[in-house]
A and B are shown apart, each in its own frame.
Chain A
Amino acid sequence: MAKPLVLHLLLLLICGSALLSSGSVIHPISDAHRSAATELFVPAADGSFGSLEETYEALRTFQILGVDRSSAKFEGTCKTVSEKLSSPTTTKDLYHALKITAILGCRTESIEFDGITSRLQTAVKDASSLLELYYSLGGLLTVKEQGKDVILSDADGTFQAIKALSQSDGRWRYDKDSTGSSAFAAGIALEALASVVSLAGSDIDQSKIAVVRKDITKLFDRIKRYDDGTLYFDEKNVDPDQYKGPLATSASITSGVTAFAAVSSEKLNIGGEKILGLAKFFLSIGIPGTAKDFFYQINSLASLENNRISIPLVLSLPATVLSLTAKDQLKVEVTTVFGSHAPSLAVSLLKVLTPDSKEVTSFEKKELEYDPENRIHFLDLSPLKIDVGKYSLIFKVSVNDPEGADLYATGDQIIVTAFLTGFIKVDKAEIAVSDSDAASESVQKLDLSKDSLISLSANHLQKLRLSLQLTTPLGHSFKPHQMVVKLRHESKVEHLFVPETSSRQYKLVLNFLGLVEKFYYLSGRYEIELAVGDAVMENSILRSIGSIELDLPEAPEKAAKPPAQPVDPLSRFGPKEEISHIFRAPEKRPPQELSLGFMGLTILPLLAFLIGLLRIGVNFKGFPTSAVPATFAILFHGGIGAVLLLYVLFWLKLDLFTTLKALGFLGVFLLFVGHRTLSYLASTSAKQKAA
């Protein structure tokens, strides 16, 4: 029970501390992203990724990440796309199809660009919504980039049409009739305006562009911020079906603003800090889970990588757990969001803070050395004499070239959490059994580096003392996150104890007299296990240090039983105990001979009766002689005999109802016959008396 418990607690502590840190872990886009992209965007057999829009998003992501697009599958995509371009489709499909053609580098000889251009120009003129304008203008720009000649008639009017949909708070509406505005629409609008300016050249009035710059400033007033400097856009007061989420909204605005900044002759008044904040937002997502989110992230970061406002530079630590034992160096990388190299920089470590935000006073500001081969800034930690623990490192990055300082956004203070781990020495480890009056002690030294096990014995009147000291590599006393001593009985009943700390020492005193009830009065062999763990301890201890034979008194009647240990759950399905039924013992019966003997004995009085009758001198003189009465008399006697026979049958096998039925018939017969006989006898005896 303790082993997984201790490990879980350790993991929980490490994870918890990582989550609660003030600096979130940010890494630039790396190969992990590339492999995730190939796993997430899986083309179907014909080379498409679903709809035209999804195919465009997948291919654009591959293009930015440098994933191979020359696969034979995409030959088929080129064909499908060119078919789409020749057939009448929506402006949105045209836009995506043109983009796909450009990304894949499809052969354009078969595509009729004139027809497409005129279709798009008509769409621009007839457009009623922002999205129509966006797609048609985007399409025209893509055609122009292919090298074809594209003219936008009435660029001013188009610009005005887009601008007309803007709101005073910097957001845009989707079309003239809708009342709700959104920031997502603002991003789309800015990109569309940038397309107009690119297509029109110098035809657009610069004052109009200046107005849009003001709109962008107002839009950026709505930016939201996290504590660590991450910035993002989110929607408020929009219809639920119009709500797109912070990632989509921020991505849309990023694309729009960077596109507009590229065409604006004057620099946008945004500031490098906001660009860096947005870059941090996109990077802090890590590896997104859905294809759409992946596209938004990668597309936005690509716009930020080369934008004209300021290029964000990201500081990251390849390793945040540094070992003092292995003499690790503190290594820092400063790159663009895609991991490309940055200009010449100076990275300095300003402060080192402990988890409770106190400064490590022994540390002074140090500049990191630069390794041009690996493009890493590094610092040796051993001369700094920093002890083991969890620290917040505060860095500052500055571009060496003063002119370049404007071009790049490096942020003010960058906070990163790092762990310095080391080997914790265990000193003066002792275990002793002493009597209650502390007179005599049998002390045994514990050497936790060796595998030796000690064995002790004690009774309930004695005490057990375990003490040890922990010191860090720099000689300070160490307080681990966890120190637990477990005593486990042979019957798997466990008890946990936490040693107390005092000045430099950890001490556990177990007074068995007071613990007798807690131990459920179980005597026997208890195994002693020690667990010492911490996030920065390289040599965490989880081992059995020996055993102790405990002699506890007998449990009284009312003592609590030890808790039931978990039963093997599969034993439920095994064979069960056999049940032996107890039947009622049959009554003792007398031996059969005796019963038969007595039956014979019962017949004797009958015989005696018959003999007695003969002796008395019974005769049948009274039996009627004439025919009819004689018959009746015979029937009478016969009837009585029949009833008696019926009774015998009843006893042997008949049931009461049958018997009663038969008896009914016989009884009626007998009554009739008996009456005749007896009345005849009565009349004859009356005649005799009279005579």
Chain B
Amino acid sequence: MAKGTNDAKLLIQSLRKAYAATPTSLKIIDLYVVYAVATALIQVAYMAMVGSFPFNSFLSGVLSCVGTAVLAVCLRIQVNKDNKEFKDLPPERAFADFVLCNLVLHLVIMNFLG
């Protein structure tokens, strides 16, 4: 058992080290995703407590968080230099797409919010 925990500790430490090596921009994006998901979870917990009466509001709130998280993940994929697929895509272009898609998403969300 001690070995197990030891192994887990070692695993986590090595993951941490590896993660520290990632570039700052990617870390920012990861943090953003974590933030969005956390907000979504809080909203779901609230709904679980008080019931889903204005269901459209709940959906729009949760989907905005989830949508923006998804877009951020897409941005991370495209910006990541280690990703061979998107070698030729300039990161600014990816960022511009991210901004545009977010704006469209949030327009729809605001309309659905009610």
A residues with a Cβ closer than 8 A to B are 587-590, 594-595, 598, 601-602, 604-606, 608-609, 612-613, 616-618, 640, 643-644, 647, 650-651, 656, 659, 663, 667, 674-675, 678-679, 681-682, 685
Q: Does B92 contact A (CB under 8 A)?
A: yes
Q: For A589, what are the chain B residues with a Cβ–Cβ distance below 8 Å?
A: 50, 53
B90 near A682 (CB under 8 angstroms)? yes
Cα distance A601–B45 in the bound complex, in angstroms: 11
Cβ-neighbour of A605 out of B35, B46, B106, B110 (below 8 A): B35
B101 at the interface (CB under 8 A from A): no
A678 contacts B92, CB within 8 Å?
Answer: yes
Interface residues of B in 25-46 (CB under 8 A from A): 27-28, 31-32, 34-35, 38-39, 42-43, 46
For residue B32, which residue of chain A has the nearest CB? A609
Q: A605-B35, A606-B35, A650-B110 are in contact. List 7 more A-B contacts (CB 8 A).
A: A612-B35, A647-B110, A656-B111, A678-B92, A678-B96, A681-B92, A685-B91
Which residues of A sit under 8 angstroms from B49, Cβ to Cβ? 590, 594
**Shortest distance from the beta carbon of B101 to any chain A beta carbon, whole Å:** 13
User: Could you pull out 8 A-B pairs where Cβ atoms are within 8 angstroms?
Assistant: A590-B49, A590-B51, A605-B39, A608-B35, A609-B32, A640-B99, A650-B107, A682-B93
Chain B residues, Cβ within 8 Å of A643: 103
Residues of B within 8 A of A679 (CB): 92
- Interface SS of chain A: helix
| Whole-angstrom distance between the Cβ of A42 and the nearest chain B Cβ | 89
Which partner residue on chain A sits nearest B38 by CB separation?
Answer: A605
Which residue of A is nearest B47, CB measured? A598
User: Is the pair B42, A598 in contact by a Cβ cutoff of 8 Å?
Assistant: yes
**Does the CB pair B32–A601 fall under 8 Å?**
no
Q: Is the CB of B39 within 8 A of A616?
A: no
Write out the residue numbers on chain B whose beta carbons fall within 8 Å of the beta carbon of A590.
49-51
Instruction: Tell me the bound Cα distance from A667 to B92 in angstroms.
Output: 18
Verify B107–A663 contact, CB threshold 8 A.
Answer: yes
CA distance A178 to B32 in the complex (A): 126
Find the B residue at minimum CB distance from A674. Answer: B96
A594 CA / B48 CA spacing, docked (Å): 13
A477 to B90, CA, bound (A): 130
CA distance in complex: A606, B34 (Å): 10
CA distance A233 to B91 in the complex (A): 129
Is B12 at the interface (CB under 8 A from chain A)?
A: no
**Interface pairs A-B: 3 shortest CB-CB:** A590-B50, A609-B35, A678-B92
Contact flag A644-B106 (CB < 8 Å), given A598-B42, A681-B92: yes
Chain B residues contacting A682 (CB-CB under 8 Å) are 90, 92-93
A616 CA / B95 CA spacing, docked (Å): 20
Which residues in window 68-114 of B have CB below 8 A to A? 90-93, 95-96, 99, 103, 106-107, 110-111, 113
Q: In the bound complex, do residue B113 and residue A613 qualify as a contact, i.e. CB atoms below 8 Å apart?
A: no
Instruction: For A605, list chain B residues within 8 Å (CB).
Output: 35, 38-39, 42
Contact of A618 with B28 at beta-carbon distance under 8 Å, contacts A590-B50, A594-B50, A608-B38 already known: yes
Q: By the criterion CB–CB under 8 Å, are A616 and B110 in contact? A: no
Bound-complex Cα distance A650 to B109 (A): 11
Chain A residues with CB under 8 A of B53: 587-589
Instruction: Give CA–CA (A455, B39) in the complex, Å.
Output: 89
Which B residues lie within 8 Å of A644 (CB)? 106
Instruction: Determine if B6 is an interface residue (Cβ-Cβ < 8 Å).
Output: no
A612 to B99, CA, bound (A): 21
Cβ B92 vs Cβ A601 within 8 A:
no
Which B residues touch A612, using CB under 8 A? Answer: 31, 34-35
Complex contact B31–A647 (CB within 8 A):
no
Residue in A598, A640, A663 whose Cβ sees the most chain B Cβ within 10 Å: A598
Task: Return the contact of B28 from the options A613, A647, A651, A667 (Cβ within 8 A).
Answer: A613
Given known A616-B24, A618-B24, A650-B110, contact A609–B42 (CB-CB < 8 A): no
Q: Chain A nearest CB: distance from B98 CB in Å?
A: 11
Chain B, Cβ-Cβ closest to A622? B25
A674–B31 touching, CB < 8 Å: no
Report the separation of the CA atoms of residues A652 and B104 in the bound assembly, to the nearest whole angstrom.
18
Residues of A within 8 A of B38 (CB): 605, 608
CA–CA, A320 and B68, complex, Å:
115
Contact assessment for B110 and A651 in the assembled complex, using a CB-CB cutoff below 8 Å: yes
CB neighbours of A602 from chain B (8 A): 39, 42-43
Return the contact of A598 from the options B24, B31, B46 (Cβ within 8 A).
B46
A618 to B31 CA separation, bound complex (whole angstroms): 12
Chain B residue nearest to A603 (CB atoms) is: B39
A663 to B108, CA, bound (A): 13
Q: How far is the CA of A484 from the CA of B31 in the complex (A)?
A: 104
Q: Look across to chain A and name the residue whose beta carbon is closest to the beta carbon of B43.
A: A602
Task: Determine whether the beta carbon of A616 is less than 8 Å from that of B92.
Answer: no
A235 to chain B, nearest CB (A): 96
A674: chain B residues at CB < 8 Å are 96, 99
Chain B nearest CB, measured from A592 CB (Å): 11
**What are the residues of chain A within 8 A of B110 when measuring CB–CB?**
647, 650-651
Distance of A605 Cα from B106 Cα, bound (Å): 19
Contacts of A647 in B (CB 8 A): 106-107, 110
> Does the CB pair A616–B28 fall under 8 Å?
yes
Q: Which residues of A contact B34 (CB under 8 A)?
A: 609, 612
A608 to B46, CA, bound (A): 19
Separation of A588 and B49 alpha carbons in the complex (Å): 13
B105 to chain A, nearest CB (A): 11
Shortest Cβ distance from residue B108 to the other chain A in the assembled complex, whole angstroms: 10
Residues in chain A near residue B91, CB distance under 8 A: 685
Chain B positions within 8 Å of A650 at CB level? 107, 110-111
Chain A residues with CB under 8 A of B113: 651
In the assembled complex, the CB of B28 is this many whole angstroms from the nearest CB of chain A, namely 6
CB distance from B15 to the nearest CB of A (A): 17
Residues on B with C-beta less than 8 A from A598 are 42, 46
Report Cα–Cα, A682/B91, bound state, in Å. Answer: 8
CB distance from A435 to the nearest CB of B (A): 71
**In the complex, what distance in Å separates the CA atom of A682 from the CA atom of B95?**
11
Provide the residues of chain A in CB contact with B39, threshold 8 Å.
602, 605-606
Q: Pick the residue among B31, B42, B46, B106 that contacts A616 (CB under 8 A).
A: B31
Question: A605 CA to B32 CA in the complex, in Å?
Answer: 10
Q: How far is the CB of B59 from chain A (nearest CB, A)?
A: 15
Tell me, rounded to whole Å, the shortest Cβ–Cβ distance linking B78 to chain A: 14
**Distance (whole angstroms) from the CB of A516 to the closest CB of chain B:** 59
Quote the shortest CB–CB distance from A593 to chain B (angstroms): 12
**Set of chain B residues within 8 Å of A656, measured between Cβ atoms:** 111
A681 contact set on B, CB distance < 8 A: 92
Q: Which residues of B contact A616 (CB under 8 A)?
A: 24, 27-28, 31
CB distance from B69 to the nearest CB of A (A): 12
Q: B45 → chain A, closest Cβ, in Å?
A: 8
Chain B residues, Cβ within 8 Å of A588? 51, 53
Tell which of B42, B91, B113 has the most Cβ of chain A within 10 Å. Answer: B42
Residues of A within 8 A of B107 (CB): 647, 650, 659, 663
CA distance A679 to B93 in the complex (A): 9
In the complex, which residues of chain B have a beta carbon less than 8 angstroms from the beta carbon of A651? 110, 113
